[in-house]
Amino acid sequence: MRREKDYHLSDPTWCPGCGIYGLFAALKMAAGDLDLGPEETVIVTGIGCHGRLNNHFRSYGFHALHGRTLPLASGIKLANPRLSVLSISGDGDAYSIGVGHFIHALRKNIDITYLVVDNRIYALTQGQASPTTPLGHVSISAPFGTKELPLDGPRLALASGGTFIARGFSGQPQKLAALIKKGIQHKGFSFIEVLSPCVTHNKIISAQWFKEHISPLDEDPGYDPRDRKQAGEKLIKEDKIPVGLIYAEERATYGELVLPESDHPLVGNDLDLDVKKFEGILEEFQ
Amino acid sequence: MKKKGTRIRDISVMIAGIAGDGVLFTGNILARILKRQGWWVYTYRDFPSNIRGEPTNYTIRASLDRVQSRADEIDVFMAFDCGAIIDHADKMAEGGLLLCDGVGLSRSTPAQKKKRTYHIFPLRKLARENFKSEIYKNMIALGALAYILDLDFGVIEKLISEAFLKKKGKEVVEKNIRAIRLGCQQAEKIVEPEELHPLVERKEAGRLLLSGNDAVALGALAGGCRFFAAYPICPATEIWQWLARYLPGYNGLVVQTEDELAALNMALGAAYAGARAMTSTSGPGGSLMMEAFGLAGMTEIPVVVAHVQRVGPSTGIPTKTEQSDLNQWVCGSHGEFPRIVLSPGTVEECFGFTIKAFNLAEKYQCPVVLLTEQDFGQNLFTVKRFDWNEVEIDRGKLLSQEELDGIKDYRRYELTADGISPRALPGMKNGLHMVESNEHDVRGYRDEDPENRVRMMRKRMNKLKSAARDSIPPKVWGEREAKTGIIGFGSTFGPIREALSQLRDKGIRAKYLQMRTLWPFPVKKAGEFISSCDAVYIVENNYSGQLSRLVQSQLRIPARIQIKNILNYSSLAFRPREISTEIQRTL
């Protein structure tokens, strides 16, 4: 049985107090709880401060292009469904440059886990407004305040056919680890938005701000994450940010629908040509 | 001019009308009949990029010798409307025969004056009166053509049965055959015996009739491709449609992605996991793939991109041919990284080079581009059966689990003499590593140290040195001793070869260097060819002479040798005469 420390490859160097430390801890806890084999796990990261995470996590890692983690991770999973594939993005990665991929990954329901680190700012490029930056927020890219409405990832996910939609907070790594664990166990595309303060470029949306603005769903005894309508209503309410498991349903994964021989990943195919079978195909060109 | 009464050895038949008329369907059937009667066929489609309403034409060239280019003239012309005549009558050969549904041209048309015959042939009226539906005009037209060309009715009936029996039933088959017979009888009433174009009789030779896109798909399947991701785009989609039907039978997968950014990234993911993976695209799709193309170069992941060139820039002319994306794939994406760009010149090469593309990608762990053109992709060619001995799978330095177990301290980007590092796949024991889009060290971890940067750049770029020796060399055609040279790549192969024989007939000796690998550039072979000439014509379907610039940037060309460009950016493929007359004029 592996433990948290078995996934700790090296010490990360994010700014002291950065929310991504909380995600890093939560991910190691979840991996330990599930006893994930490092050699059977691939973590794909995008561009942003989160992108370094797989440099420090013991598993196979792929630091991809900005916004393109999902198609890459999908290709890995479909070619070898035996791997546990996680994709990590920032809010810029997921909701801006890669938002097209996000919607279609939700539709396809490929069995990967997607963690979106939301610090509501472009941190690695020094603090420009991101798609989740609140209206009117002053930053170096918007000295007179942003004029665009912020985007709500879980709301978009629900509208796009997401089968596992959750939101966690990096300041509560235990709870976040539990959500990640559930997400990895979920059969299909699991999406977890991780609220994560940037201590350097976003002085307003701090850890304290998040603490004051979140509303844990598990404290609402009437809330049923299998109820789509309830989930929608919860997400539309503007007063608080719901955290916890927002919505989950069972639906056939893309892999189940298109890969009949799931016991034989296509990476394991014998590539030698069966000439007789091939000659049969050529008949249509007569 | 074709001699009357003798049987014909080379013919060009145009069918023209409005998109939605059934021109493509009728033309494809005629092409297949001719192929089955033992002829070498090349079809040329000149279609608008819409489904209905605009002029469209389809030319079938058939010959007893292998043909792979548009004919210089049209011998028999079946026009579904008068507009088609106005567009193409000037291309009629002397002695040519034209049938048109409808009146619209006076008897004094230029086509009439120069020994060309014109008949009104009321296709739609015949269809309506006999079958109560205009759709039968296509088979009536086919019947008339069968009479004019003296085709074998046994072959035609068999093909019609194959085309309709399963999907539409026996009744439809019979009705279509009746329409063909009607067309034949009507043509007999209208066309004079001396206007006929009877073909020499030939026997079926067991060859295949397929497009370049078909051949790329077949090559991918034979070459071990088991993962294919793409986004719909003309004129590349046939590759995907074909693989979508057959890959599942080989435990493979075809995925439709949301865009071309995703297509190449997804193929890369599958390739990283160990599958032979590919995408296909054209025009703007190629532009979107540039980003991931560089990622493949940086991370040393073997992946194949089949890019079927269409007219650009921007949306351009999606269904017509051009060779203007050479620069993009040879030089494109930001930064510098190794890539291999192959350019097949025949359909057989489309098949063979696709297999080779997968082998090169895995051996050199870099992206390989198979650059073709719409002319190739969507036109049909008669080809010999494929040589299965050509099919071999070489996975390069891909490690087995056993080999990996024997390595102490595995390093994915280990420095080696040839720059190629042994490759472990995710899921393997003892192979943990990082793959980085950033500059990285031998373990794959980000490293911005200038000395490391130089080491890793050299490692990656050095792979091209051995790839250059292993890639597909250019091929010389024509008279080796000639002092006039032609250089071309891709689908200009057909027209250039035919232009060579036209020049020979005029007493001009010439030779042709067929570029089959564009990158790494074949410096030695191309240099030798050019040095042996006094004048070199570089023939390509673009405005700026992209191949010409590439050749001149890679070679030091002595001043005594004249380099001239013959360029065609009209959106149409070259006719052989356009090349041969230009050479004659300027030599």
* φ, ψ (nearest 5 deg) of residue B536: -125, 125
Confidence of residue A263 (pLDDT cuts 50, 70, 90): confident
Q: Cβ of B266 and A269 within 8 Å?
A: no
Q: Tens of pLDDT along B24-70?
A: 999 999 999 999 999 999 999 988 887 777 889 999 999 999 999 99
A109, two tokens: 């329901």
Measured between beta carbons, which residues in chain A are less than 8 angstroms from residue B209?
Answer: 285-286
Q: Tell me the pairing of strands A60-63 and A41-45.
A: parallel
Distance CA B142, CA B122 (A): 13
Q: Is the Cβ pair A62, B257 closer than 8 Å?
A: no
Q: Which of B288, B429, B434, B445 to mutate to test the interface with A (most CBs of A within 10 A)?
A: B434
Q: What percent of chain A has pLDDT over 90?
A: 92
pLDDT at A38 > cutoff 60: yes
Specify the pLDDT at position B551: 98
CA of A253 vs chain B CAs: smallest distance (Å): 14
Q: Are strands B253-256 and B517-519 parallel, antiparallel or unpaired?
A: unpaired
CA A184, CA A179: separation in Å to the nearest integer?
9
Q: Which residues of chain A lie closer than 8 angstroms to B31, CB-CB? A: none
Question: What is the residue extent of each domain of chain A?
Answer: 4-285
Question: What's the one-letter identity of residue A190?
Answer: S
**DSSP state at residue B440:** B
Chain A residues touching residue B401 (CB < 8 angstroms): none
Please say whether the dihedral angle defined by the alpha carbons of residues A24, A159, A93 and A146, taken in this order, is positive or negative. negative
Phi and psi of B395, rounded to 5°? -95, 10
B435 touches A at CB < 8 Å: yes
Q: What is the mean pLDDT of residues A139-150?
A: 94
Distance from CA of B401 to the nearest CA of A (A): 12
The helix (run of H) or strand (run of E) holding residue A22 is helix A20-34
Would you say the C-alpha torsion B399, A86, A79, A153 has a positive or negative sign? negative
Per-residue model confidence (pLDDT) at position B111: 47
What CATH fold (topology level) applies to the domain A4-285? Rossmann fold (3.40.50)
What ipTM was assigned to the predicted interfaces of this complex? 0.98
Task: Give the closest of B222, B226, B292 to A65, CB-based.
Answer: B292
pLDDT at A54 over 70: yes
Q: Which of A78, A261, A272 sits opposite B393 (nearest CB)?
A: A272
Residues of chain A positioned with their CB less than 8 A from the CB of B446:
52, 55, 63
Question: What pLDDT score does B89 carry?
Answer: 82
* Residue B432 contacts A, CB cutoff 8 Å: yes
User: Is residue A33 very low, low, confident or very high in pLDDT (cuts 50, 70, 90)?
Assistant: very high
Task: Kindly list the structural domains of chain B, giving each domain's residue range(s) and its CATH number in brackets, ordered by start.
Answer: 10-206 (3.40.920.10), 209-390 (3.40.50.970), 401-470 (no CATH), 475-586 (3.40.50.920)
Confidence tier at A262 by pLDDT (50, 70, 90): low
* Rounded (10°) angle between helices B450-470 and B347-364: 150
Q: Are B272 and A76 a contacting pair at CB < 8 A?
A: yes
Collapse the DSSP code of A175 into the 3-class scheme (helix H, G, I; strand E, B; otherwise coil) and give the result.
Answer: helix
pLDDT, position B104: 55
Q: What is the pTM of this model?
A: 0.96
| Residues in B 49-68 with any Cβ partner in A closer than 8 A | none
> Given this model, what pLDDT does residue B189 score?
96
pLDDT at B87: 81
Nearest CA among A133, A164, A124 for reference residue A244: A164
- Residue A260, pLDDT above cutoff 90: no
Mean pLDDT for each 10-residue chunk of chain B (587 residues)? Answer: 67 92 93 96 88 87 93 94 83 92 59 74 95 95 97 95 92 96 96 93 89 97 97 96 94 97 98 98 98 98 98 96 98 98 97 97 98 95 87 96 98 97 98 98 97 98 96 96 98 97 97 98 98 98 98 97 97 97 95
Quote the tokens at residue B442: 């031998």
pLDDT at B113: 53
